[in-house]
Amino acid sequence: AQKITQTQPGMFVQEKEAVTLDCTYDTSDPSYGLFWYKQPSSGEMIFLIYQGSYDQQNATEGRYSLNFQKARKSANLVISASQLGDSAMYFCAMREGQGGNQFYFGTGTSLTVIP
Amino acid sequence: KAGVTQTPRYLIKTRGQQVTLSCSPISGHRSVSWYQQTPGQGLQFLFEYFSETQRNKGNFPGRFSGRQFSNSRSEMNVSTLELGDSALYLCASSLGLAGYGSDEQFFGPGTRLTVL
Is A53 close to B100, i.e. CB distance below 8 A? yes
Determine which helix (DSSP H) or strand (DSSP E) holds A33, and give its type and residue range.
Answer: strand A32-39
- Quick one: closest CA in B to A102, which residue? B56
* A86: DSSP letter: G
Q: What pLDDT, on the 0 to 100 scale, is given for residue B42?
A: 78
Name every chain B residue with its beta carbon within 8 A of the beta carbon of A8: none
Under the banding of pLDDT at 50, 70 and 90, the label for residue B102 is confident
| Structure confidence by residue, pLDDT tens digits, B42-53 | 789 999 999 999
CB-nearest partner of A101 from B35, B55, B110: B55
Q: Residue B19: which residues within 8 A CB-CB, separation 6 or more?
A: B11, B13, B77, B78, B81, B113
Q: What pLDDT, on the 0 to 100 scale, is given for residue A101?
A: 74
Is A101 close to B98, i.e. CB distance below 8 A? yes
Would you state the torsion angle of the CA atoms of residues B26, B30, B36, B41, taken in this order, to the nearest 10 degrees? -90
Name every chain A residue with its beta carbon within 8 A of the beta carbon of B98: 99-101
CB neighbourhood size of B59 (10 A):
7
| Structure confidence by residue, pLDDT tens digits, A60-113 | 999 999 999 999 999 999 999 999 999 999 999 998 876 667 889 999 999 999
Contact A105, B42 (CB under 8 A): yes
Is A99 close to B109, i.e. CB distance below 8 A? no
Buried b (16+ CB within 10 A) or exposed e, A105-114: bbbbbebebe
Contact A85, B15 (CB under 8 A): no
C-alpha distances out from residue A115 to A83, A106, B102, Å: 8, 28, 34
| CB within 8 Å of chain B, chain A residues 43-102 | 43-47, 50, 52-54, 91, 95-102
Share of chain B above pLDDT 70, in %: 95
Contact B13, B76 (CB under 8 A): no
CB neighbourhood size of B55 (10 A):
17
Name every chain A residue with its beta carbon within 8 A of the beta carbon of B60: none
Share the mean pLDDT of chain A: 93
Q: What pLDDT, on the 0 to 100 scale, is given for residue B96?
A: 80
Contact A64, A90 (CB under 8 A): no
Is A91 close to B106, i.e. CB distance below 8 A? no
Q: What pLDDT, on the 0 to 100 scale, is given for residue B100?
A: 59
- Quick one: closest CA in A to B100, which residue? A97
Under the banding of pLDDT at 50, 70 and 90, the label for residue B20 is very high
